[in-house]
């Protein structure tokens, strides 16, 4: 069985893959435009978020039987196209949930206490103590859109901080001990913070729209660690400028990397380069999950 690694994975996982007696081809350092010709005869394709299994690359998969997406989102894979070619697609959503949840919580602290602006100001020789009066998370209402694995981990941590947690039911039933289930309109009306944790699909693209922002509480804070396309960035920009949205923390963008993005020029916006799952622990768990998926496939269980 020929296994192609298109994006970097944990080194320990590669060693464990070798023990499965498969042929490993590591193309993780190869320019993406050179991938199609390398994958024609490969049977298992491992990707993260950087490799887009669409168009020319998907067409090049002549012998592929399985695509493994190390991570959660599947928007970088043409699922219908893969299905039409008889290629199974699996991901590893269980592996990075804690890391993404901790980043979302970290964003809330950073915005509430002006940590980024305070640090930048000190480096510039400023002492903005009076200007950087913050707010506590304790007692505030957190609205979670998407209560899957990541959303639930966020809820657990927010509850420990004394936050009131409400959530919309996107797919699964929401455990009462984690959050109160509300409608989207109720969430927008009540939430001081909104943390987004849903996949990017045609249904969810620009779901956080002009209409949604108009329903939100004045001074709401937006946290997006899901996918950039879920939020209409043009509308978010206007809402940040006019004060409807007090602040935003973004790990994801509609175009990545963001080039000359106006959002990043605002003082009330902080961001990171899609690092939600980028922790040592998450990468190790993703590697373990990838190995387990391949074992399952070889044993006929996937």
Closest CA to 195 of 75, 96, 106: 106
| Strand ranges in 152-273 using DSSP code E only, listed in sequence order | 164-168, 180-181, 193-196, 220-224, 245-250, 269-271
227 assigned to active site: yes
Tell me the three state secondary structure of residue 2.
strand
Report how far Cα 79 is from the mean position of its chain's Cα atoms.
Answer: 18
Alpha-carbon torsion (293, 296, 298, 301), positive or negative: negative
Catalytic hit among 48, 117, 274, 285: 274
Catalytic hit among 117, 227, 254, 285: 227
Tell me the three state secondary structure of residue 142.
strand
256 assigned to active site: yes
DSSP conformational letter for 125:
T
Tell me the three state secondary structure of residue 83.
helix
CA 177 to each of CA 117, 165, 195: distance values in angstroms, whole numbers, following the listed order = 35, 10, 18
Length of the chain: 302
Q: Is the peptide bond before 104 cis (omega within 30 degrees of 0)?
A: no
Q: Which two tokens stand for residue 24?
A: 């490993």
Closest CA to 51 of 67, 66, 32: 32
Calpha distance 140→142 (Å, rounded) = 6
214 assigned to active site: no
Catalytic hit among 16, 256, 262, 292: 256
Place of tokens 């959660």: 72
CA 170 to each of CA 61, 183, 198, 266: distance values in angstroms, whole numbers, following the listed order = 33, 10, 8, 31
Calpha distance 151→145 (Å, rounded) = 8
Task: Catalogue the active-site residues.
Answer: 227, 256, 274
């Amino acid at each position: 069985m020929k296994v192609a690694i298109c994006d970097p994975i944990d080194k320990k996982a590669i060693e464990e893959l070798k023990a499965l007696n498969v042929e490993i081809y590591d193309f993780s350092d190869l320019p993406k435009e050179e991938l199609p010709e390398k994958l024609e005869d490969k049977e298992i394709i491992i990707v993260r978020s950087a490799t887009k299994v669409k168009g020319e690359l998907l067409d090049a998969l002549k012998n592929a039987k399985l695509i493994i997406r190390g991570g959660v989102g599947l928007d970088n894979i043409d699922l219908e196209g893969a299905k039409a070619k008889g290629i199974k697609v699996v991901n590893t959503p269980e592996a990075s949930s804690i890391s993404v949840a901790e980043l979302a919580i970290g964003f809330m602290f950073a915005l509430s206490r002006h940590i980024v602006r305070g640090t930048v100001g000190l480096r510039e020789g400023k002492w903005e103590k009076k200007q950087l009066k913050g707010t506590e998370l304790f007692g505030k209402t957190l609205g979670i859109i998407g209560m899957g694995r990541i959303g639930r981990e966020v809820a657990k941590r927010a509850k420990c901080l004394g936050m009131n947690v409400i959530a919309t039911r996107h797919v699964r039933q929401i455990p009462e001990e984690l959050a109160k289930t509300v409608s989207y309109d109720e969430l927008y009306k009540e939430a001081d913070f909104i943390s987004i944790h849903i996949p990017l699909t045609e249904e969810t693209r620009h779901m956080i729209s002009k209409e949604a922002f108009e329903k939100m509480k004045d001074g709401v804070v937006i946290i997006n660690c899901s996918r950039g396309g879920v939020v209409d960035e043009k509308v978010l920009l206007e809402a940040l400028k006019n004060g409807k949205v007090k602040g935003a923390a973004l790990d994801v963008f509609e175009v990545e990397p963001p080039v000359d993005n106006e959002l990043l020029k605002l003082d009330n916006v902080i961001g990171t380069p899609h690092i939600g799952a980028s922790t040592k622990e998450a990468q190790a768990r993703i590697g373990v999950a990838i190995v387990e998926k391949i074992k399952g496939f070889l044993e006929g269980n996937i």
